[in-house]
Homo-oligomer: A and B are copies of this chain.
């Protein structure tokens, strides 16, 4: 386990007893704990073994905060194409915040109404890293990538239907982007995007030491 980093448990597909057991062991160490894909039942179960658990419902994350982290100067901006992408965006945003990052949220700025995105270009420019979360055709990452010159983490979501094929459409769009500077994570992997964005943002905090 890297020091300073929270310990992470991915709850999806695990039984509650199981999750509780793992969290119990983690509580014996001093790190913050991040339980992703946590249902309300998971939250209830964790609350019984510690008073410090907080639940971010939209993000489906339980956080057990054991020590405070200083907030970064650098900003991670999290953008979504639509409102249905918000849960995944929140997974990314909360993950990044728990890791000590300053996060800016810019939701529902998809390409079908591109002016809303353009009106916010200043906020885009201020960010050190951007997380672009979009389903359906997933064009948001390309458009943002064409506007800014910071790294863009693209998160395809499974929002959509028909030939969307559960997020395949957005995934392929993002992988084939003609804009440079885009790295893609798995469909609906808000956690992974928040974690990678944090790693990148912290490089700026550390500056030239490594």
Interface residues of A (CB under 8 A from B): 2, 5, 8, 12-14, 18, 73-74, 81-84, 110-114, 118, 126, 128, 136-139, 142-143, 145-147, 149-151, 153, 156, 158-189, 191-192, 195-196, 199-201, 203-208, 210
Contacts and interface: CB of A to CB of B under 8 A. Distances in A.
B186 A176 contact: yes
A83 B159 CA distance: 28
A78 to B, nearest CB: 15
B203 A146 contact: no
B208 A173 contact: no
A24 to B, nearest CB: 15
A118 to B, nearest CB: 8
Contacts of A205: 208
B143 A111 contact: yes
A82 to B, nearest CB: 7
Q: Lowest 4 CB-CB distances: which A-B pairs, in order?
A: A183-B183, A207-B207, A162-B187, A139-B139
Contacts of A166: 162
Nearest to A75: B210
